[in-house]
Amino acid sequence: MIHINQIGYLPNETKVAILTEPSDVFELIYSDNHQVVFQGTPVAFSEAATDAASGDSVWLADFSELTTSGSYCIRTANEVSASFAIGEQIYKSLKNDLIKSYYYQRCGCALLPQHAGRFSHGCCHTALATLVGESHATLELSGGWHDAGDYGRYTTAAATALAHLLYAFELFPERFQEALNIPESGNGVPDLLNECRYELEWLLKMQLPDGSVFHKVSTWRHAAFVMPEEDTAPLYAYAVSSMAVGDFAAVCALAARIYAAYDTDFSMRLTAAAIQAYRFLQAHPDFIPFRNPEGSGTGEYGDRSDRDERFWAAAELFRLTGEQCYWEDFVQLYAEDFSKTHLGYASTGGFGTLSLLTHPNFRFVSDCSLSTHMTTEQQNIAAALFRSWCDEADNYVTFARESGYQVAMTSKDFHWGSNMTVMNRGITLIVAYLLTKNPCYRTAACNQLHYLLGRNATGYSYVTGHGTKYIRHPHMRTIFADGIDEPIPGFVSGGPNARPCDPAAPLIPADTPPMKSFADVYEAYSLNEVTIYWNSPAVFVAAFFDSAEA
């Protein structure tokens, strides 16, 4: 098989197709008239040619020299690939659909035909919620985005998605200027921020008067596969967790800084909410874990520690206010042993690092930070975090070099939601590139996108509506129940999982290699679900590659 990025390649990036059958030559041909424009020789990936994560024998067909925009196919001895593009801005519609997916996840409002087209539907989940353990529904917690294929709304998942989206906006705002045809379009605010505000307004409702924050609001068990407005089971607000409070403080502080340029009142509300949440953390230094109450079955998003959430909160409040007390907490937490580079819902240390590394007072030159505004301690910590970040990025470059599919994933990285790891590593690499301008990070980041869009062992593009063979049956209630054959575009599948644990698991033979442990069927929630925090790192990466240079 010929594995390609099914959308295509940017003119000035490396361009490689992966072949799983030997061929003496390969040719690039115009897709319309089949005229040959380039010829090359496939190169075995290694002496044994075998890729560990997929078990495939692979050959690399490098056509980077071809930089002319156009529509092409690749021809080998026995095969012709589907057509793909070489061109500038070929990921623009991908980027915009990935963002628009959040509009389709809106809860608590009807999706109108003028914005949602044939995917319009009624208003959902507006009933008052009951605090678990109480008997009356008194809490107004409507709004926000459905988390995933299910209709729960979870604070830590929300904060993670918002973080990817808002940091992307902050780092390259010029890539978020297109109107997305959402209800707020045309109000003078970029639509990414309009969409994120829909989530933030809900998040603010999740805070209690003492500054603490509910871990989640959802029904008691997941709904059947019905449209959201048909899911009328009672809603519950679940207990407070310190992860929820920490993430809330961090993401509200981040948002306060970004929305300050658009809406002072909103920014001030976010600032006050962040400070209040932080005060709760100060007053409650102990870990407040979260476990689902007996019998409840919606998403748990458990965690074993809140140190990384507190670290991120300290970083963002320091950045927002410049106050010493936050810096002192940051220094103390920095000395503790948890990842300072991960960007996931249970491991948020990387967001704290990102906040500091992108602080305008720091300028990184090779491996040191220079600043006239920062203390020596601040400079030293920033320089150490910068080195850790680049070390992590270097690891990913090595993983990609050792992968036949040129993806920064080892065999053990194919867990539930592996595509989040693929895209989060893309973020790490992009940030490393922005800090150092070392092109090898940029190339490696682009290779992560190629994997997502079809240059992988299953040959699927893992984004609905994009590519020639994209997933069509994600585990998502709205997509299943809407009666429309075509999936809503712009949703990222969780992707291969070496240990599937859902009704589709029997479809996958026990000896299936990790990168192939996937099935495009509705039942496969551990392989083919969608979530807001798997789409968000893909927005970051697609937006970065939407334009030629940052």
Question: Which stretches of the chain bind Zn ion, using CB under 5 A?
Answer: 107, 124-125, 228
The residue from 86, 94, 107, 148 that contacts ligand 9MR (CB under 6 A) is 148
Pick one of Zn ion, ligand 9MR, none as the site partner of residue 245 (Cβ within 5 to 8 A by kind).
none
The residue from 13, 51, 56, 150 that contacts ligand 9MR (CB under 6 A) is 150
Pick one of Zn ion, ligand 9MR, none as the site partner of residue 125 (Cβ within 5 to 8 A by kind).
Zn ion
Stretch that binds ligand 9MR, among 89-97, 146-154, 329-337, 348-356 (CB under 6 A): 146-154
352 binds ligand 9MR (CB under 6 A): no
Pick one of Zn ion, ligand 9MR, none as the site partner of residue 489 (Cβ within 5 to 8 A by kind).
none
413 binds ligand 9MR (CB under 6 A): no
Q: Report the 3 state secondary structure along 325-355.
A: HHHHHHHHHHCCCCCCCCCCCCCCHHHHHHH
Give me the residue whose beta carbon is nearest to ligand 9MR.
Answer: 299
Helices H, strands E: what count in the chain?
Answer: 14, 16
Compute CA distances 344 → 308, 507, 534, whole Å. 11, 29, 9
In 3-state terms, what secondary structure has residue 85?
strand
Give DSSP secondary structure letters for 284-332: --S-----PPTT--S-----S--HHHHHHHHHHHHHHH--HHHHHHHHH
Pick one of ligand 9MR, Zn ion, none as the site partner of residue 150 (Cβ within 5 to 8 A by kind).
ligand 9MR
Pick one of ligand 9MR, Zn ion, none as the site partner of residue 228 (Cβ within 5 to 8 A by kind).
Zn ion
Q: For 281, phi and psi rounded to 5 degrees? A: -60, -40
Nearer to ligand 9MR, 230 or 300 (CB): 300
Q: For 108, phi and psi rounded to 5 degrees? A: 85, 10
333 binds ligand 9MR (CB under 6 A): no
Nearer to ligand 9MR, 147 or 546 (CB): 147
424 binds ligand 9MR (CB under 6 A): no
Residue 542: how many other CB atoms lie within 10 Å: 30
231 binds ligand 9MR (CB under 6 A): no
In 3-state terms, what secondary structure has residue 125?
coil
Stretch that binds ligand 9MR, among 112-120, 143-151, 179-187, 380-388 (CB under 6 A): 143-151
CA 337 to chain centre: 25
Residue 36: strand pairing partners? 29
> Least distance (Å) from Zn ion to the CB of residue 61?
46
Nearer to ligand 9MR, 93 or 464 (CB): 464
- Asked if 539 contacts 172 with a C-beta cutoff of 8 angstroms, the reply is no
> Least distance (Å) from ligand 9MR to the CB of residue 542?
20
What is the rounded distance in angstroms from the CA atom of residue 532 to the CA atom of residue 280? 27
**Catalytic sites, residue numbers:** 150, 475, 520, 529
Pick one of ligand 9MR, Zn ion, none as the site partner of residue 124 (Cβ within 5 to 8 A by kind).
Zn ion
427 binds ligand 9MR (CB under 6 A): no
- Measuring CA to CA, which residue among 303, 299, 292, 348 is closest to residue 154? 299
Nearer to Zn ion, 124 or 541 (CB): 124
Question: Which amino acid is located at 525 in the chain?
Answer: Y
Residues 6+ apart with CB under 8 A from 257: 267, 319, 320
- Asked if 153 contacts 201 with a C-beta cutoff of 8 angstroms, the reply is no
Residue 3, both tokens: 């594995």
- Asked if 473 contacts 521 with a C-beta cutoff of 8 angstroms, the reply is yes
> Least distance (Å) from ligand 9MR to the CB of residue 299?
3
**Strand ranges (E), 412-466:** none
Compute CA distances 32 → 29, 36, 83, 132, whole Å. 9, 11, 9, 62
Pick one of Zn ion, ligand 9MR, none as the site partner of residue 299 (Cβ within 5 to 8 A by kind).
ligand 9MR
417 binds ligand 9MR (CB under 6 A): yes
Pick one of Zn ion, ligand 9MR, none as the site partner of residue 529 (Cβ within 5 to 8 A by kind).
ligand 9MR
416 binds ligand 9MR (CB under 6 A): yes
495 binds ligand 9MR (CB under 6 A): no
228 binds ligand 9MR (CB under 6 A): no
- Asked if 454 contacts 81 with a C-beta cutoff of 8 angstroms, the reply is no
The residue from 299, 352, 467, 500 that contacts ligand 9MR (CB under 6 A) is 299
Give me the residue whose beta carbon is nearest to Zn ion.
Answer: 107
**Direct distance between the N- and C-terminal alpha carbons of the chain, in angstroms, rounded to an integer:** 34
What is the rounded distance in angstroms from the CA atom of residue 238 to the CA atom of residue 403? 43
Site size toward ligand 9MR (CB under 6 A) is: 11
What is the rounded distance in angstroms from the CA atom of residue 191 to the CA atom of residue 198? 11
531 binds ligand 9MR (CB under 6 A): yes
Nearer to ligand 9MR, 152 or 465 (CB): 152
Pick one of ligand 9MR, Zn ion, none as the site partner of residue 520 (Cβ within 5 to 8 A by kind).
none
Residues of this chain that interact with ligand 9MR (CB under 6 A) are 147-148, 150, 152, 299-300, 416-417, 525, 529, 531
